[in-house]
Amino acid sequence: MPSIWTWTLVRLGLALVGGALIGLIYDRPALGMLIVALAALGWQLYNLYRLERWLTAGSIADIPDGEGVWPPLFARIQFIKTKAKRRGKRFRRLVKELRASTEAFPDGGVILNAQYEILNYNLAARVLLDLKLRGDRGQRIENLLRHPDFIDYLRNPGDRPAVEIPSPTGGDTWLSCRLIPYGPEQTLLLIRDISQRVKIERVRRDFVANASHELRTPLTVIMGYLDTLADDPGKPPIWAQPVQIMQEQAQRMFRLVEDLLQLSRLESGQSVARDRVVSIAGLIELARRDAQSSPGFGGPIEVQVNSDVNILGEETELQSVVSNLVANAVRYTPAEGRITISWNVDEDGGHLAVVDTGIGISEADIPRVTERFYRADGGRARQSGGTGLGLSIVKYALRRHDADLEIRSRLGHGSSFVCHFPRDRLTPS
């Protein structure tokens, strides 16, 4: 069956022939064909005008009538417009559902562009950050969250997974902020209220500090009486071993109390003074002498100090870092093993390393060895008198000095603990 376009061309051809025949009557066949062609063109222009008016009217129900190719063309356009309208409704419904789901999130979400300007946010973010419905869209996020830790995290988001800051709304509210890049130069800022966790952590820290402080006095009294009893020549011989065991356990508990107190001070303390010059070579030498005198280890301790640059910080805390790292190496290194303590300075900063040939740490244990009371080898640590707090003290002391702890280890091959100090913490001797 011929198509509608074929019939249209046939009709146009017949009209032109008819126009030429009529023109022959007046000896003007070309003029007759021209008049027919102009009439056909005018008709098509008229239908184009009707099409434009129909498309701009907004209603797809009142389809124009016509003849020739125009009725199927109008019907096709009506079909496309109807389909697009249905898709638009479905898309708007999906957007509405998505907005409703994001509004139901307990955590805040803020969409940022490449310049960290606010594009959109949900209800939780509006409450947590006290955002205004109109005035805060387009604002840079650092204009609203001005805490120095957040600004530093915003500039270097790859340095840590998240940052914890007090809420800009004030009070005892604390927020955990995390940046997640997505899409073309866009970033999602996730905000979580961690006030309850911070409160519990503060209560725990205060309890540990108070309990440790209260335990120290009676422990001191007990240790004093045990020392007196141990030095008493008139005590029965059968008491000698029990008194010695009690002395050892009392000393172990006293070390635990002291470590807990030190850890509490590090957790709750303010920033250290940066105008105190600490000799790192002196700290290393003191830790080496203590390690050499410790029982159970007779191997060599090599010291490599390749720079006379010192550290700005708190001497007692830095001494705790060095002594705990060296004591940890001694505790987990056999008598025939080897320990190396080194200090190097390069363009990235200062690097204090304690390397041993001990029993090593499994890959699964490495992320957890700085946790309180966590022991990769609990049995041996208890036998050697470890409290499980040494590396936690190291972590918090380094954090207060803007330093990082890098741990590398293999089971049966030893461990390497490297403290990386930034250049602004270094000073010439």
Residue range 146-165: mean pLDDT, rounded: 83
pLDDT at 269: 62
| pLDDT, tens only, 14-39 | 777 777 777 777 777 787 778 878 88
CATH number of 105-193: 3.30.450.20
The pLDDT of residue 245 is: 84
pLDDT in tens, 65-109: 766 677 777 777 777 877 877 887 787 777 676 666 666 677 888
Q: Note the pLDDT of residue 127.
A: 81
Helix (H) or strand (E) holding 376: none
Rg (CA), the chain: 41
Among 61, 56, 58, CA closest to 78 = 61
| Ramachandran class of 74: left when φ > 0, alpha when ψ lies in -120 to 50, beta otherwise | alpha
Q: Check pLDDT > 70 for residue 4.
A: no
Q: What percent of the chain has pLDDT over 90?
A: 3
Give the chain's end-to-end CA distance (angstroms, integer): 101
CATH architecture of 198-268: Orthogonal Bundle (1.10)
pLDDT of amino acid 5: 66
CA distance 128 to 150: 15
pLDDT of residue 133: 65
> CB-based contacts of 335: which residues, under 8 Å, 6+ apart?
296, 297, 298, 299
Secondary-structure class of domain 277-427 per CATH: alpha beta
Asked if residues 36 and 19 have their Cβ atoms less than 8 Å apart, the reply is yes
The token pair that represents 31 in the structure block = 């003029």
Lowest mean pLDDT among 2-16, 260-274, 346-360: 260-274
| Alpha carbon distances (Å) from 251 to 107, 224, 263, 309, 424 | 48, 11, 18, 37, 39
Q: What's residue 1's pLDDT?
A: 37
Mean per-residue pLDDT over the chain, rounded? 79
Residue 379 has pLDDT above 50, yes or no: no
CA distance 319 to 393: 11
- In the block, residue with structure tokens 């936690």: 392
298 — pLDDT class (breaks 50, 70, 90)? low
Q: Quick check: pTM over 0.85?
A: no
- List the chain domain ranges: 4-100, 105-193, 198-268, 277-427
